[in-house]
């Protein structure tokens, strides 16, 4: 994930003036941090910003000393899977927990040595438990599915039936389509960029 994450960050960095201010802000923050082994995480944050989705739709932040019981009692854990990042910021977190259905199902340190493992566990939840992607992060998760994990079914059972309207900010019915047009467009632009620059 870090290798593809680095390529995504390079793609965004090389065209920084092209992106919205939210994407530029996340990108600058990701680049100025010591990123050793965190390119995958930084790329996920940039992709969330690019697709106009909130970080909280996949990641929650908690103090580094938070226990699973503390997280369940103090955080508002949603039904859909989330990675609870333990640290000051999402980018500086070094420990992770995984929650689903309002419960911590994987505590810190339990076989999640790095962000890539934590994110793989989060993503696997959708397939293992046959869950639809949450509306708030459906575009980013479809991008992960199609670009990073390379799962490209003709009919996507995991795509949310609803999405956030980019104009009104309300939940609306999603048009029936096999692939999200924003994901298709981004993958096309990314591929063309690397074909022209390699």
What pLDDT is attached to residue 52? 95
Matching residue, tokens 């259905």: 101
Judge if 152 and 167 occupy the same domain. yes
Domain count, the chain: 3
Judge if 43 and 65 occupy the same domain. no
Whether the pLDDT of residue 2 is over 90: the answer is: no
Read off the pLDDT band of 163 (50, 70, 90): confident
Contacts of 177 (CB under 8 A, 6+ apart): none
Q: What is the pLDDT of residues 90-116, one digit of tens each?
A: 988 989 999 999 999 999 977 778 899
Q: What is the pLDDT of residues 41-83, one digit of tens each?
A: 999 999 999 999 999 999 999 999 999 999 999 999 999 999 9
* Helix%, strand%, coil% for the chain, nearest 5: 50, 15, 40
Judge if 75 and 119 occupy the same domain. yes
Which residue among 103, 129, 155 closes a domain? 129
User: Domain range holding 177?
Assistant: 132-198
Beta carbons of 183 and 53 less than 8 angstroms apart: no
Judge if 62 and 125 occupy the same domain. yes
What pLDDT is attached to residue 172? 78
Judge if 123 and 65 occupy the same domain. yes
Judge if 116 and 136 occupy the same domain. no
Matching residue, tokens 């697709």: 51
Which residue among 84, 111, 129 closes a domain? 129
Judge if 48 and 60 occupy the same domain. no
C-alpha–C-alpha distance, residues 63 and 82, integer Å: 16
Whether the pLDDT of residue 32 is over 80: the answer is: no
Which residue among 110, 129, 148 closes a domain? 129
Contacts of 103 (CB under 8 A, 6+ apart): 72, 77
Structure-model confidence comparison of residues 111 and 140, the more confident one:
140
Judge if 59 and 99 occupy the same domain. yes
Judge if 29 and 48 occupy the same domain. yes
Least confident of 11-20, 130-139, 159-168: 159-168
Least confident of 88-92, 138-142, 164-168: 164-168
Judge if 35 and 78 occupy the same domain. no
Mean pLDDT of the chain: 88
C-alpha–C-alpha distance, residues 65 and 155, integer Å: 42
**Model confidence, pTM:** 0.84
Judge if 23 and 77 occupy the same domain. no
Instruction: Dump strand ranges (E) for 63-169.
Output: 82-86, 95-100, 103-106, 162-164
Beta carbons of 163 and 195 less than 8 angstroms apart: no
Contacts of 48 (CB under 8 A, 6+ apart): 26, 54, 55, 57, 58, 137, 140
Judge if 45 and 70 occupy the same domain. no
Structure-model confidence comparison of residues 35 and 8, the more confident one:
8
What pLDDT is attached to residue 113? 81
Read off the pLDDT band of 152 (50, 70, 90): confident
């Amino acid at each position: 994930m870090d290798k593809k994450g680095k390529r995504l960050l390079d793609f965004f960095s090389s065209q920084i003036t092209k992106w919205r201010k939210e994407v530029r802000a996340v990108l600058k923050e990701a680049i100025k941090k010591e990123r050793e082994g965190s390119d995958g995480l930084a790329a996920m944050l940039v992709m969330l910003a690019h697709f106009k989705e909130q970080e909280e739709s996949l990641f929650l932040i908690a103090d580094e000393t938070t226990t699973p019981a503390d997280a369940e009692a103090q955080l508002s854990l949603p039904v859909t899977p989330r990675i609870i990042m333990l640290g000051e910021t999402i980018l500086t977190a070094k420990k992770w927990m995984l929650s689903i259905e309002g419960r911590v199902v994987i505590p810190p340190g339990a076989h999640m040595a790095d962000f890539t493992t934590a994110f793989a566990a989060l993503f696997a939840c959708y397939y293992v438990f046959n869950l639809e992607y949450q509306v708030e992060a459906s575009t980013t998760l479809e991008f992960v599915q199609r670009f990073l994990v390379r799962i490209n079914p003709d009919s996507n059972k995991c795509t949310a039936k609803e999405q956030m309207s980019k104009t009104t900010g309300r939940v609306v019915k999603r048009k029936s389509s096999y692939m999200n047009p924003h994901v298709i467009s981004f993958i096309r632009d990314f591929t063309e960029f690397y074909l022209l620059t390699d």
